[in-house]
Amino acid sequence: MRILITAGPTREPIDAVRFISNRSSGKMGIAIAEAAASAGHEVTLLLGPVMVHGSLHETMRVYRFGTSAELKQMLEAHFPDCDVLVMAAAVADYRVQQAATGKIKREAGRELTLRLQPTPDLVAAVASTKRPGQKVVAFALEEPAEMESRAVAKMKRKGVDAVVANPLGTMDDGYVTGLWLLANGGRAEPGRMSKPDFAAWLVGRLGDL
């Protein structure tokens, strides 16, 4: 299969040196890309501004993005040629309405107000352009108590074929307790696994689509 994978956070600029982002390390998405490439799939990885420890699989094509706008452009360029998109990137929900040019100067006693606007829903946008047979897998990071219900709602709202639901603690852990949910009602819960082991398990599940 030709698999397109996104990983890591976006950085939405406030000025020339500051940005809005999140704590995503990109480790889950990178692990999925490595597992898919090792399984013989043709992999394209769209990777955000994170550190990569060691070398990536030699057959993998890697493209770097910074902002959600850059990721949007890359998805538009690469999505039409893939069979499956695994959208593991943690796209910032908001960006500054108008980023400052240069560096905002700090002044004693002066408050700074930022006007934010929502970033585009990249998952829903690409899902709406799917050709027959093309599949989209999204990720949902949620509070454990409502993880499954919110993930199912997200899957329906965005029109994707499957969702990997994870508890919030996944961001700070080398392990994941993921839940695999399909639009046709299928589900699987493999239990707590290391991120590389879960990635290999997930790549094996892509055939369920």
What are the catalytic residues? 22
Question: Tokens for 113?
Answer: 């107000």
Nearest residue to 39 (alpha-carbon basis) of 209, 202, 208: 202
Helices 195-205, 27-38: crossing angle, 10 deg rounding: 50
Distances in Å between the alpha carbon of 90 and those of 30, 48, 108, 112, 178?
13, 9, 34, 26, 16
